[in-house]
Amino acid sequence: MISRRLFLGSGVAATFVLPAHAVPVVKPNLPLVILDPGHGGKDPGAIGVSGTYEKHIALAAAQELQRQLTATGRMRVELTRMRDVFIPLPNRVAIAQKKGASLFVSMHADALLDRSVRGASVYTLGEHATDAQTASLATRENNADRIGGGNAHATSPEVSRILASLVREETRAGSVRMAQEVVGALKQDTRLLQNPQRQAAFVVLKAADIPSILVEMGFMSNREDEAALRQPAHRAKVAGAMKRAIEAYFAALPNA
């Protein structure tokens, strides 16, 4: 048995006795998943038709996914941001690299001028965008750092070489497998774009040694998508699909 003493304010304290199995044990050898809620702080991201900020939706969805993944006991999960703060794009990648992440998942909800477009989509790194819409999306996401001032993610010669070869083959293949798993899981529970698995040169997907994907959970510019993403139940459904995909990805790895 394990006791916990909690202070409830005004000098009042209470002691609770918990069974040992109620205290989660984090195993350091478990794979680490880094979830990256897009935007934050002075960068609101896309603004929905009713005024909802993408940065809030992304954080709420990432926190729900963290809760579901952690509950499995099969992986460690951390977020690049736990509150409404601005983090430059390269710093998000650096966080994952510094912590030795096994997987990087960036979470977003885009906006378009065409408000009829709706549905989720999944992106991996590519030197050339799959289509014009994806190229426009990557440009908007990569320009997020301009809000912070300066050119925080000027492409270095090293990164250019990585892009030229579509990153290391093993990492690229892992990213594609992860994207396939997420698309397969999401289509069971939510609406997807046509051709939902796409690629473009997203800054946050440029880690050379970490399989990385970017998930657009829907369009803030579409009234139905925005309304759904505002609902905790819908975000939990999206997170549930992503949890299944992440579990399947790790289960298929050698020596899993």
pTM of the predicted structure, to 2 decimals = 0.80
b/e map 58-83, b = 16+ CB within 10 Å: bbbbbbbbbebbbeeeebbbbbbbee
Instruction: Give pLDDT tens digits along the chain (256 positions).
Output: 444 443 333 333 444 344 444 444 556 689 999 999 999 999 999 999 999 999 999 999 999 999 999 999 999 999 999 999 999 999 999 999 999 999 999 999 999 989 999 999 999 987 666 666 766 666 767 666 665 554 444 555 665 555 545 446 788 899 999 999 999 999 999 999 999 999 888 888 988 889 999 999 999 999 999 999 999 999 999 999 999 999 999 999 987 6
CB-based contacts of 191, cutoff 8 Å, min separation 6: 118, 119, 120, 218, 225
Domain ranges of the chain: 32-146+155-251
CA atoms of 230 and 206, how far apart (whole Å): 30
For tokens 């497998």, what's the residue? 177
Give 32-146+155-251's CATH code, choosing from 2.30.42.10, 3.40.630.40, 3.30.420.40, 3.40.980.10: 3.40.630.40
Q: Which two tokens stand for residue 79?
A: 């977020």
Q: For residue 12, what pLDDT is reported?
A: 39
